[in-house]
Amino acid sequence: MREAGLVVAEALDRVRAMAAPGVTTADMADVVAEVFRRHNAKPLFLGYPANEKGKPPFPAVICASVNEQVVHGIPNRRPLRDGDIVSIDTGCSLNGWCGDSAVTLAIGTPSAEAKKLLDVTLETLNLAIRAMGRCNYWSEVASLMDRYVKSQGFYVVEKFVGHGIGQAMHEEPQVPNFVSKSLIKHDIKLEPGLVLAVEPMVSVGTKDVRTLSDGWTVETKDRRPSAHFEHTVAITHEGIRVLTLKDDDSSSGAQSPTPTIATTA
* SS3 annotation, 16-33: HHHCCCCCEHHHHHHHHH
What CATH number does residue 95 fall under?
Answer: 3.90.230.10
pLDDT, residue 28, reads: 98
Whether residue 261 lies inside any domain: the answer is no
Separation of alpha carbons 218 and 72, rounded Å: 6
Q: pLDDT by residue (tens digit) across 50-99?
A: 777 778 999 999 999 999 999 999 999 999 999 999 999 999 999 999 99
pLDDT greater than 70 at residue 250 = no
For the beta sheet containing 209-211, the strands, ordered from the edge strand earlier in sequence to the opposite edge, are 69-71, 218-220, 209-211
Whether residue 262 lies inside any domain: the answer is no
Identify the H or E element spanning 234: strand 231-236
Separation of alpha carbons 7 and 4, rounded Å: 5
What's the domain count of the chain?
1
Whether residue 256 lies inside any domain: the answer is no
Q: Which among 122, 129, 166, 100 has a CA at the least distance from the CA of 240?
A: 129
pLDDT, residue 54, reads: 76
Q: What does 114-159 look like in DSSP terms, one character per residue?
A: HHHHHHHHHHHHHHHHHHHTT-SBHHHHHHHHHHHHHHTT-EE--S
Helices (H) and strands (E) in the chain, counts: 5, 15
pLDDT, residue 258, reads: 36
Whether residue 254 lies inside any domain: the answer is no
Whether residue 44 lies inside any domain: the answer is yes
> If pLDDT is split at 50, 70 and 90, which confidence band does 248 have?
low
The pTM for the full model equals: 0.92
Reduced DSSP (H G I as helix, E B as strand, rest coil) percent helix, strand, coil of the chain, to 5: 30, 25, 45
- Residues 225-249 have a mean pLDDT of 93
Whether residue 265 lies inside any domain: the answer is no
- Residues 222-231 have a mean pLDDT of 98
Q: What is the DSSP letter of 79?
A: B
| CA-only gyration radius of the chain, Å | 17
Whether residue 257 lies inside any domain: the answer is no
Mean pLDDT of the chain: 93
Q: pLDDT by residue (tens digit) across 167-212?
A: 999 999 999 999 998 899 999 999 999 999 999 999 999 999 999 9
Q: pLDDT by residue (tens digit) across 6-38?
A: 999 999 999 999 999 999 999 999 999 999 999
> Which residues constitute the domain of residue 205?
2-249
Whether residue 101 lies inside any domain: the answer is yes
